Structure 1
């Protein structure tokens, strides 16, 4: 393609509009005299806008720069004739780096070939690709690189005649409408075949050529610049799959449980209630349903590759693994995760044995120290009462204060024993002593009443934490050949490791057996909270027939999410639809 100042002006305006200051100019003829001189003579266009650019002649050179660059870049490809193979290779490179590369394809009148190439490529719904169709007259054959020849831009030709076969290409989508004529998206009459027609490109399904989507952004002209165009469709705005399938995979709900070596799987069996999520996803994204069933979640084989469900997820055969996965480091190394759907925790279930040792806290003050304190307080009050009376008799010379030490002791014993007295205090000091005695008596008897109440009503279990269970003589067990056993065996926690070792000889065949054994006493059963509660409801026929204590194991509290491929193009759309489900409080978890 012959470069000129108008094309370079458009490129710099587009890059500035995208607010990404790094770009790569890819043109097989950039090393030729005319194209190199054009870029060199217009360096100020890039410098004025603060842009950093690199000129490459091969796809390998551009791919190497994109691999080394950690920041987002814009790749600008000037499409020439007979470069369909190179364009297909470049599409594959861009598809692998969809979140790091914005691809601008500048084409002339051979846009039909470009469309056919991109349809056959493996770009997906998260692709950031824009095609800029040059609406001007094709360059003059006699001097294709003479950018000073004004006739290159002023000759008016019917652009539609140059590509009159575009209406026979496979159907594509623009919004909710299906079109067959690409040129209908470009308003040629209004702009007199000048400027560039901008079309955003992506595919709903990577392996389906019929899912090719073109989004009309408008026309860029030299006078009004790129600001007259429409905004790009973000990945969140592409939440319309036009009835193309969203493929999920999960275990067969009717199959028997099998041991898995996947430590980040939350539950042993597939929950059919999870299909409610899939129904909502397909409705939100306007997609069709497509399910794949697997016997197992999968594990790593001798070659280090995942098998079964996880293998299909890593290869891209499914878009979403509709299983509950725990977000732990082992899981992040294997797959990607959606937003959290709930919290998961393992618990220990046992039959509590009531004990009175915790309520003896009320009895502990009632010892010899309390008795001595009561007698000492009574003696002190009696002495104070006798002294006040002696002082009153001496200084006032009256015989109306007959209380001595013996009478005072008798009065004090009557007050403390709540027997009362016919004596009425006449001095202010007597009144103060009486109030102190009554307050002390009230405190003693209220404490005694609290102790009696605790003896009659309060019962506390001996075991309330995981550490207390490990220090007790209880047997500990878990379900044999289950996901819980895999979790205990692979986790790095001292308490959980002790549970695994102690329960190796006391484990059971299923959750129901473990809960029934725990209900008999002397046995602690380790299981996932959701599975254990569901099993407990089933064996009790949804009635509270068993008084089983649940001890929370805080170290096992983790977030639970669905599984996606690490670089899944549908991850953001699934998160968007799941967020809408929770916000609208639709369905149940």
Structure 2
């Protein structure tokens, strides 16, 4: 904060006139009373013989803990409670012009606490009349020499100059006869106009989602009404079709462009605070937190899609077939040898032995029962081999289904995945953000998406629909994407998309104002009062919606019909083969009857 204190004296021919020295005790007491931390003393056209008075004033300020300097703005080290003292021997209109320019150029006066004004004739204000009334109330003698303290301020640039008489100072009563200046924190617009910028809704009455996200029209209307009443202002609304963005030439469009041109005083639209926006405008009071995210579809349950044949390799299948053939040859030899010893034992053919060995290894049993120890030993060995094979097969399938789903959960994983196509809204705010950011990964994301024009989309709805049905990574703002997802139907993939947060894009939502706006502090205090009542919490929930409520995806891979399609194919082939063989055997055994039947039918 800084305070501008002007003390004018009547000219005199003395070396250092008393009229010049008289205001100095008041200046000292005022600085201590207002709690200054640093003071800058500016004395244009001051007599050379009065320099000792300035040095004594600086020493007195130093004793009271107030740093002081007589060099204009060369020794400013603080950014709060800075007092500027102007000592002039005559009331001269342009005496403080140079100081005013330096103060404005330095930027220390952010216009949140006070303003620099030019003296002018003020209608309906008479300093003599105010001083006379004050003297009557406090019963001052006309002969007493006092210093009148008047506060001047403006609500808007090029508007009415208001004056507030604070009282008179004298050596006896000191600052007890001076009222506290009208603080900026309690100041209002005194009924003057406040130009508010808003974004238009779409044709159906809903806010547009293409700029910065959904809005909350009714809640923002309530906030505007609250600001109008609390600040005692007359609000004037100007609507714009787009929020706007910064072009390649560095100019702003839409509502933000009007804000930069000072066409509007404040934009009553929540805007994401990016670095590019923070360079050109100010923001007050973060309302909510948001970020940009990457949206992809839910990951597949497993990379292994054919569980039935997945455990088998060519070498393993060859070994199993060799074991089946060896077992079939062994059982044929055993049956031939035992048939020569025991007449009742029948011999087994090669086909029947092959079917038997296959059934045993598949744990389906067989039609042949061994009648000697050698056959029983062969059966036990085959069954043991079948048990070992089955356990290994079951363990492999279990290991496949029990592992967690491998997921892509970072932007680096998306960039390193060759399967994903990358995109964003063409010529939208997201593309501008990716192009201007200094994040290496986001720059790579931008280049990879821009390299293929087919990956760019025209709207958030199109991008999310592609992300739900394809291996497509869609970059969008959290507010726009979530609001669009909540409007999508289940069939279009509302629950098929998941969100990958990009934490480096974390930002806040706030109301923008022009640089060094004089309305920042009153608006901030009003929003703080709203926050204490819980109104801003409801606004935050409306501005940043949650993801659609859907059933959580499975954390583990699960078997589906497509996983065992080869087993189903093998079952169907086996049934067809068995029916064909059965039909062939029937035709062979009844070939004579069939031959007679066919001859009869042909004749």
TM norm structure 2: 0.58
Residue 77 (structure 1) aligned to one of 83, 86, 104: 86
Alignment pair present for 1:494 and 2:510? no
Deviation string for 1:111-134 (max 9, x for gaps)?
A: xxxxxxxxxxxxx773267999xx
Paired position in structure 2 for 1:14: 30
**Aligned residues of 2:28 and 2:57 also touching (Cα < 8 A):** no
> Cα gap change, 1:214/1:473 in structure 2, threshold over 3 Å: closer, same or farther?
same
The answer as to 2:480 corresponding to 1:527 is no
Displacement, 1:208?
0.8
**Alpha-carbon separation, structure 2, partners of 1:28 and 1:543:** 75
Name which of 499, 502, 508 aligns with 1:553. 502
Which structure is larger by alpha-carbon Rg, 1 or 2?
2
Matches within 5 A, 1:152-163: none
What are the residue-to-residue correspondences of 1:143-222 with 2, within 5 Å?
Answer: 169-171=122-124, 182-183=130-131, 186-190=134-138, 191-193=140-142, 194-209=145-160, 212-222=161-171
Asked if the contact 1:170–1:180 (Cα under 8 Å) also holds between the matched residues in 2, the reply is: no
Partner SS for 2:511: strand
Question: Could you tell me whether the CA contact under 8 Å between 2:289 and 2:506 is conserved in 1?
Answer: yes
Matched, 1:241 2:194: no
Check conservation: 2:468, 2:496, Cα contact below 8 A: yes
Q: Taking structure 1 as reference, are residues 347 and 18 closer, same or farther at Cα in structure 2, changes over 3 Å only? A: same
After TM superposition, give the deviation of residue 184 of structure 1 in Å: 7.2
Name the CA shift for 1:356/1:180 in 2 (closer, same or farther; >3 Å). farther
Give yes or no for contact 1:250–1:321 (8 Å, CA) kept in 2: yes
Structure 1 position 231, deviation (Å)? 2.9
Give the alignment of 1:190-339 within 5 angstroms: 190=138, 191-193=140-142, 194-209=145-160, 212-238=161-187, 240-254=188-202, 267=212, 272=217, 274-294=220-240, 297=244, 299=246, 309-339=255-285
Residue 562 (str. 1) matches residue 511 (str. 2): yes
Unaligned stretches of 5+ residues in structure 1: 56-61, 102-123, 133-165, 174-178, 257-264, 359-447
Which residue among 41, 46, 52 is the counterpart of 1:30? 46
Equivalent residue, structure 2, for 1:539: 488
Do residues 588 (structure 1) and 536 (structure 2) align?
A: no
Distance 2:276 2:478 in 1: 21
In structure 1, what is the equivalent of residue 14 of structure 2? none
Change (3 A) 1:476 1:129: closer
Once the two structures are overlaid, the 10-residue window that deviates more, 557-566 or 40-49, is: 40-49
Query: Which segments of 5 or more consecutive residues in structure 2 lack a partner in the other structure?
Result: 1-8, 11-18, 205-209, 305-393, 541-603
Residue 309 of structure 2: aligned partner = none
Once the two structures are superposed, residues 182-204 of structure 1 have per-residue CA deviations (whole angstroms, 9 ceiling, x without a partner) of 45773445223442232322111
Does the aligned pair in 1 maintain the 2:213–2:477 contact within 8 Å? no
Shift of 1:511: 0.8
State the shift of 1:89 in Å.
6.9
SS of corresponding position for 1:354: coil
Partners of 1:347 and 1:528 within 8 A in 2: yes
3-state SS of paired residue (1:516): helix
* Distance across 2 between alignment mates of 1:185 and 1:255: 61
Which residue does 2:462 correspond to in 1? 513
Q: Is this contact kept in 2: 1:477–1:508, CA < 8 A?
A: yes
Greater RCO, 1 or 2 (C-alpha within 8 Å, sep 6+) = 2
* Worse-superposed segment, 15-24 or 43-52: 43-52
Describe the superposition over 1:32-67 as per-residue Cα deviations: whole angstroms up to 9, x where unpaired. 66x568668988766765666667xxxxxx7xx136
Relative distance call for 1:21 and 1:6 in structure 2 (3 A) is: farther
Residue 392 of structure 1 corresponds to which residue in structure 2? Answer: none
Query: 1:126 is matched with which residue?
Result: 113
1:510 Cα deviation after fit: 0.6
In the alignment, does 2:433 pair up with 1:467? no
Alpha-carbon deviation of 1:454? 11
Structure 2 contact 291–505 (Cα < 8 Å) conserved: yes
| Structure 2 equivalent of residue 135 of structure 1 | none
Corresponding residue for 1:420? none
Q: Tell me the TM-score normalized by structure 1.
A: 0.59
SS across alignment from 1:531? helix
> 1: CA distance between counterparts of 2:401 and 2:62?
87
C-alpha distance in 2 between matches for 1:579 and 1:510? 36
| Compared CA separation, residues 74 and 469, structure 1 to 2 (3 A) | closer
Q: Which is worse superposed, 316-325 or 526-535? A: 316-325
